[in-house]
Amino acid sequence: MTNATGPLTAPNGLPGAGTAAPAPTPGRGIRRIRVPQKLRNLELFLLLFVCAVNAFAVVLVQFGALGYADMTVFTLGVGLAVLVLGMHIALRFVATNADPFILPIAALLNGIGIAVIYRIDIAEKLTGWESTAVRQVVWSGVAIALAIGVILVIRNHRVLQRYTYIAMFVAAVLLLLPMLPVIGQEINGARVWIHVGAFSFQPGEVAKIALAVFFAGYLVSRRDSLSMVGTKFLGMRFPRARDLGPILVLWALSMSVIIFQRDLGTALLYFGLFVVMIYVATGRASWVVLGVGLFLAGGVIAGQVLTYVNDRFTNWLDAFNPAIYDEVGGSYQLVQGLFGLANGGLIGTGLGQGRPDITPLAQSDYIIASVGEELGLAGLFAIFALYLLFISRGFRISFAGQDDFGRLLGVGLSFTVALQCFIVIGGVTRVIPLTGLTTPFMAAGGSSLVANWIIVGLLLRLSDTVRNQPRLVI
Amino acid sequence: MTRELKRVSIVVFLMFVALFASTTTIQFFQADNLASDARNARTIYASYDTERGAILVGGQPIAESVPTNDEFKYQRVYPQGQLYSAVTGYYTLGQGSSQIEQSLNDYLSGTSDSQFLEYLNRLVTGQNPQGASVELSIDPVIQQAAYDALGSYQGAVVAIEPSTGRILAMVSKPDFDPNTLAVHDTQTVLDTYDSLLAAPGDPLINKTINDLNPPGSTFKIVTTSAALQNANLPIDHTEPNLARLPLPGSDSTVSNAGGGTCGGGDQVTIATAFILSCNIPMAELGVEMGEQPLADMAKAFGFGSELTVPMDVSTSVYPRGLDDAQLALSAFGQGSDVATPLQIAMLSAAVANGGKLMTPNLVDAIQAPDLSVLESFEAKELSTPLTSTTASQLSDLMVQAVDNGAATNARIDGVSVAGKTGTAENGEGDPYTLWFTGFAPADNPRVAVAVVVEDGGGLGQSGSGNELAAPIAKRVLEAGLSK
């Protein structure tokens, strides 16, 4: 197709494909022609279907676990439905050409997540404000409101490029917040939480968005110096020593997250995001080689020095060893999660009819094991397919986009979702060591919901921009 | 940038392929392995969500599952727990199961192959899975008589219907109450289980099929059968009547139970030796015949066979490759001979059934929840150790042993009882194992029985089979005849 620095041409057949020429804005005097909002109507149809599925899932949980249905379906199902339909209406006014699939997919994942969290609540006899599912609905409200805010406030994603270094500053502050003495809080050994009043929040989740914005802005301006010069070695052009600065800074940042916040997953997420974005920006595989090498080296050293990292590796490699299974901080959770998945088998026990609550953190870190137990392999495949579709819509924006900043931001944001899925689900299913991240949209937890819904808002805005670029008429 | 984006897309795709593969591996390929891991509480919980089938005796449940309100849907209940503990076994949360609960678990839990369609049907229609019920061959009257007669002795009673091999009674003592192990609290289960494991007399062991003892003089049924049939010796074949027999190649000697000779005279017949249960003539017979006829006859009676009733039965042993001293000892049930009470009952059952040994079995029928019969019992011949002639000769000898021989405590007024006692030594200073086996009525046998009283019945080396075991057998036979 094209080379890294050549003219940006989207693959044929994609709407909005065009060239990098500046897009003329519609003249003020021209009366806007009222056209039916085909994309929005499709989105509405999908959303109504999704809301029905979500409510049905809650009812199934009730019949499965309680044997009867009560009014909870209205708080859990209708609450979310009102929110996502509100977002849909906002899109009708301010982003008419936004992608029609992103919102329904996020709403479906969020809704299934709430149903499964509610199922764990029933098993643990939590009701009212104690109920994680109720809090999840409230958090969904906050998150979706913020996403609507993103769409309303950011009318053009390019303004974000102006805030490149502010984004970096915001990311740094967010990352440092949990280290502060009063509001910082350590849960299960990881110091990644802040605690204000009754609310806990993981600022690192939101920091990844700020980081993606920063990387996109920074790399667009510096890509030439990062890609053009350097020495050739083993068939690859490696960067000059003085251009290694950014990757070393990011590496140091990730390592300090591992050492001081004891959070492997987040470190891997940030570093993976950076490596992918610098690769896409520069087109140089050497960055990937360098990045993976640095991270592996850091990981191996951390595994030698830090007990908790070493434990994660041991649990991963020898999970079924009785000694490791019984140990405090051993593989009990991992093995119980596998038992849960096995119990689900191909078609699952049915919603409300398994025993996912045996596994610790079944509603947050291990929600995918809970889903796998009650919806089976078939259900998991459907969930994975939804994630893949979501990510592919994000990538599509990058393929079709016309400005490099937007393209980089699109790939960065979608890739964090992909990488986060891989890290947490891969951890639960023993592809990689367990590191403890949240499953996007599904896991219980406000910070994760807020972060991922903001990503939804940004992707919708990006996709609207892409479609609104008029084709250059030659 | 597009080329890089494509590559990143491929990487993302591969990451998800890894997730598709890992979940498929866990949920499809490894699912059975993971489900059978002993640490997998879900498998155990799942079994408690099924209405486990009942175990029935005479149409009445001796184990059944009743609905509960706790986190498990059903509670296992044993209405006459101690009486039937050797038969039902236990079914626990975390400590496994035993006996029928274990050996027929597939049927009781509804997971056997023959119930697959039924299981699928219930899954689709949303009904709770339900297991099949098991109807046992146990006769409640005989079982109760055996339980009462054995009293507080450590030992076992097993009764068989000779013509079919159906097991009519199975009692093992000390017993236990399976209800105490059926509670829904793993810690309580573990505590009870541990205390039962440590209890004297091993209450968790079913002594009728899993306890091996030297058979003592009951083995003379085998030796006499071998002499009459395999060695073709006449019933009045004689051996020197000694008061002491030096064992060939050894400085030990063998004596008869009473210490003297076997009746009067210089010579003693096989018949007399059997009726009076003398050791020396049997030892002489064994050495005279050699190992082969004895080993063949023991094998035909079931020694060395792996039986399931459907619980696994410990294999009774008649040793091979013996020298003359060992051969002499083995001929009257000492040396390395060991047998389960079931095996000893099978000796009587074969004699009672005209020489045909029927395969022992505890289960009459297995019935699905819709009352269709999944499996029903059919009498099967295990072997034919004796010709009808030899069988009737043996039967006569056993009747005489009860009438005026060494087994007189088994006499029942108005009925001819056939029987053989045994008083087996376990080693220097150890208490004897006391045996009785027999059947009644001798002319039309309906019940064959074996009784073992272990640990000398508390009398150390002073008790005898006739004194302690024969009266127990008598009460069991009486219960069988009163039907």
pLDDT digits 0-9 by tens, A416-443: 999 999 999 999 999 999 887 899 999 9
Q: Which H or E run contains B396?
A: helix B388-404
Model confidence at A156: pLDDT above 80: yes
Closest CA to A208 of A291, A113, A272: A272
Model confidence at A193: pLDDT above 90: no
For every residue of A430-456, DSSP letters joined together read TSS-----PPTTTSS-HHHHHHHHHHH
Q: For position A371, what pLDDT does the model report?
A: 95
Q: For position B156, what pLDDT does the model report?
A: 96
Q: For position A130, what pLDDT does the model report?
A: 80
Residues 6+ apart with CB under 8 A from A193: A178, A184, A185, A186, A187, A200, A201, A202
The band of A272, judged by pLDDT with boundaries at 50, 70 and 90, is very high
What are the residue ranges spanned by the domains of chain A?
A: 2-8+30-473
Three-state SS at B375: strand
* Interface residues of chain B, partner chain A, Cβ below 8 Å: 1-9, 11-13, 15-16, 18-20, 22-28, 30-31, 33-35, 37, 39-43, 45-46
Residue A259, class by beta-carbon neighbours within 10 Å (0-12 exposed, 13-18 middle, 19+ buried)?
A: middle
Distance from CA of B8 to the nearest CA of A (A): 7
Q: For position B375, what pLDDT does the model report?
A: 84
B34: nearest CB among A281, A339, A425 = A339
Whether B217 is a known active-site residue: answer yes
Q: For position B32, what pLDDT does the model report?
A: 84
Q: CA dist A423 to A116, A330, B12, B22, B256, Å?
A: 21, 19, 12, 13, 81
Q: CA dist A306 to A184, A261, A262, A451, B364, Å?
A: 22, 12, 9, 29, 64
Q: CB A342 to CB B22 under 8 A?
A: no
Q: Give the span between the Cα atoms of A411 and A413, in whole angstroms.
A: 6
Q: Give the span between the Cα atoms of A461 and A458, in whole angstroms.
A: 5
Model confidence at A244: pLDDT above 50: yes
Q: Is-contact B88 B102, C-beta < 8 A?
A: no
| End-to-end alpha carbon distance in chain A | 21
Distance from CA of A177 to the nearest CA of B (A): 31
Q: Is-contact B143 B208, C-beta < 8 A?
A: no
Closest CA to B465 of B141, B140, B83, B153: B153
Strand partners, A286: none
Residues of chain B where predicted confidence (pLDDT) is lower than 70: 119, 122-129, 483
A342: nearest CB among B1, B22, B31 = B31
Backbone dihedral region for residue B105 (phi beyond 0: left; psi -120 to 50: alpha; all else: beta): alpha
Range in A50-54, A72-76, A279-283, A296-300 the model is least confident about: A72-76
